[in-house]
Structure 1
Amino acid sequence: MRYALLFPGQGSQSVGMLAALGAPETIDTLKEASEILGWDLLGLVQSGPDDELNRTERTQPALLAAGVAVWRAWSRRCEAVPSAVAGHSLGEYSALVAAGSLDFADALKLVELRGQLMQQAVPAGTGGMVALLGLADDQVEALCADYPGDHVLEPANFNSPGQVVVAGQTEALDWLLVNAKPKGAKLAKKLAMSVPSHCSLLRGAAEQLHQRLSQIEVKAPAFPVLHNLDAEPRQNPDDIRDALRDQLFRPVRWTQTVQALVAAGAEAACECGPGKVLSGLMKRVAADVPAFALENDAGFDAALQHLGAN
């Protein structure tokens, strides 16, 4: 059976994540990441504290390591190569490591830098993100375009039909919170995100990230990795570098990505990392494609049984 792998991004982290996964790759990979980074990533994941794990420059390498740990455990137990893979935002880096495009050590240091650049790009308290439910993608785009001020307000994550996250400056987000429901939104909720990801406020950070990317070896992926930018795979290393740069200040087109995975023949999807966020979105975008969260042994067993791979 053809299947896709999905790698989660920021927001899926929690202290103790993957503790219910008995695979030895979990501890081994987190230990390896600690040695590469020079700080105790394993201890942070196991014991916290929460506020430290939730610091962007800590969250990003911790989630990347968690995704790679699950991938290593999965690839030991499942010989079938995925038909394609994708990662949500930060998860795109985990997907590229799994496909052999990025070296694990390079990717860890890269996403640590990515987190630092993102935090530095927008002063604390001046930007953020708001989740909107109940509006179509084009309605969200029109709503942002209707903002009468001169602050940034842009769609950032097209997560599923009727679920879009908007990023921007605080003044514009305050306007959105007041005006979204009169325009038809069922819910408008400010997220606990200090960084307005995937909008033009991060263009400068993206250029700095690209400078570092130019110094890192990037290989052609062993299997297709669909990029957030346009749900298209890339083979050329420079094209992959450019996609990772642009991803930082342009929206995550997750709905389109899931639709492309299904169109490419995926008959099931496995979420390769902590949490069940992407499994839930899969059900909203492609309800007839079974989705399995590989965050624990039960999820592994269910996925392997469904794929006929155990």
Structure 2
Amino acid sequence: MNKIAFIFPGQGAQYVGMGKEFYDNFPEAKAVFDAADEALGFDISKMCFDGPEEDLKLTRNTQPAILTMSIAALKVLESKGIKPEITAGLSLGEYAALVCSGVMDFKDAVQVVEKRGTYMQEAVPAGKGKMAALIGMDRENVLKLCDDFGSYGVLEAANFNCPGQIVIGGASEAVEKAVDAAKEYGAKKAVLLPVSAPFHTSMLSPAAEKLEVELKKLNFNDASVPVIANVDAEVVESTDKYLPNLKNQVSSSVMWEDSIRKMIELGVDTFVEIGPGKSLCGFVKKIDRKLNFMNVEDMASLEKALSKLEA
């Protein structure tokens, strides 16, 4: 049997209608959506299934919505007897990985990510911060670009997604200047992203401080499945690391490529992306196209994944 990793997507993967097929066909999935509605005190299920898209795109709604859909899909896969040997999630997706591993209770997680989304949305006034994707640049040149244009304001590497795709964020003017100059530093393309704040940069420190207060109210259990942390791409060995990792994750770089490479180093050859979209499969493919990768987000992708995993 292949060594399987479950990986969970982050913000930006959401779409109206996500999770509806699982809700309609699997009681395990329906129970997750119902639990989320109860824990949040509003109908996040209806927002996932019917929108409106404008509401679903608000960070404070997006984060609990994606987490809920991801855990609903996870429960469907678990009901088929498919279990991971290691897990990780991109940014928000790390919370799904922690639920998957038993470190966090789902109801605690969905409540805290709603607060996380709110704090991240409020941390930087509208228009003051931006993010951009740099395509075709290596790390060294991205860091040099950030250093050279940091005089215009905060400018940092936010997401190391895969070879040739790194996201930067920071003060609006600094990001805009960096985008204009990116081709001189080796970028094939530089694109401003439609996000409400410069996530995973030091400008989000106020959100991290507020989140820490909420995280201190939670219980963290020992992991039943190893979890790779975003902040350092290492297996979290002790429960006292989860809180600082989740706090720091808000305002520091997401080491996603490194996380995938760490799992490969630990023997993983099959990656199952669980939740909306399949962007993480794309990242895995760019890291090593010989790996097995698949996503689970609806009935068609579930059946396709099961045909491979049960073979």
- TM-score interval for Structure 1 and Structure 2 normalised by the shorter chain: over 0.9
- For 1:29, the equivalent position in structure 2 comes to 32
User: Helix, strand or coil: the match of 1:180?
Assistant: helix
Identity %: 39
Distance 1:166 1:218 in 2: 31
User: Helix, strand or coil: the match of 2:149?
Assistant: coil
Structure 1 window deviating more from structure 2 (34-43 vs 176-185): it is: 176-185
User: Helix, strand or coil: the match of 2:290?
Assistant: coil
Distance 2:93 2:185 in 1: 32
**Count, aligned residues:** 308
Q: Is the 8 A contact 2:233 2:262 kept in 1?
A: yes
- After superposition, the C-alpha distances for 1:213-256 in whole angstroms (9 at most, x for unaligned) are 11110111111010111111213222111111111111011111
Gaps of 5+ in 1: none
Give the partner amino acid of 1:184: G
Matches within 5 A, 1:277-288: 277-288=279-290
Give the partner amino acid of 1:54: K
- For 2:17, the equivalent position in structure 1 comes to 16
- For 1:69, the equivalent position in structure 2 comes to 72
1:163 shift after superposition: 0.3
- After superposition, the C-alpha distances for 1:244-281 in whole angstroms (9 at most, x for unaligned) are 11111110111111111111111211011111111111
Give the structure-1-normalised TM-score. Answer: 0.96
1:27 shift after superposition: 3.0
Distance 1:245 1:47 in 2: 32
1:297 shift after superposition: 2.2
- For 2:48, the equivalent position in structure 1 comes to 45
1:59 shift after superposition: 0.3
1:148 shift after superposition: 5.3
Give the partner amino acid of 1:76: S
- After superposition, the C-alpha distances for 1:82-117 in whole angstroms (9 at most, x for unaligned) are 121000000000100111100111111110110111
User: Helix, strand or coil: the match of 1:111?
Assistant: helix
Matches within 5 A, 1:31-180: 31-79=34-82, 81-147=83-149, 149-180=151-182
1:35 shift after superposition: 1.1
Distance 2:150 2:270 in 1: 44
1:20 shift after superposition: 4.2
Give the partner amino acid of 1:12: A
- After superposition, the C-alpha distances for 1:188-227 in whole angstroms (9 at most, x for unaligned) are 1000101111000011211221121111101111110101
Distance 1:35 1:196 in 2: 31
Distance 2:81 2:287 in 1: 26
Give the partner amino acid of 2:105: D
Q: Is the 8 A contact 1:153 1:166 kept in 2?
A: yes
Give the structure-2-normalised TM-score. Answer: 0.96
Distance 1:257 1:190 in 2: 25
- After superposition, the C-alpha distances for 1:34-78 in whole angstroms (9 at most, x for unaligned) are 111001101111111111000000000001101110111111102
- For 1:239, the equivalent position in structure 2 comes to 241
User: Helix, strand or coil: the match of 2:169?
Assistant: strand
Give the partner amino acid of 1:291: F
Distance 1:20 1:287 in 2: 30
Distance 1:78 1:301 in 2: 14
Structure 1 window deviating more from structure 2 (240-249 vs 175-184): it is: 175-184
Matches within 5 A, 1:261-272: 261-272=263-274
- For 1:2, the equivalent position in structure 2 comes to 3
Distance 1:86 1:273 in 2: 13
Distance 1:27 1:190 in 2: 37
1:2 shift after superposition: 1.1
Q: Is the 8 A contact 1:83 1:265 kept in 2?
A: no
Matched, 1:307 2:309: yes
Distance 1:168 1:192 in 2: 14
Give the partner amino acid of 1:240: Y
Q: Is the 8 A contact 2:19 2:72 kept in 1?
A: no
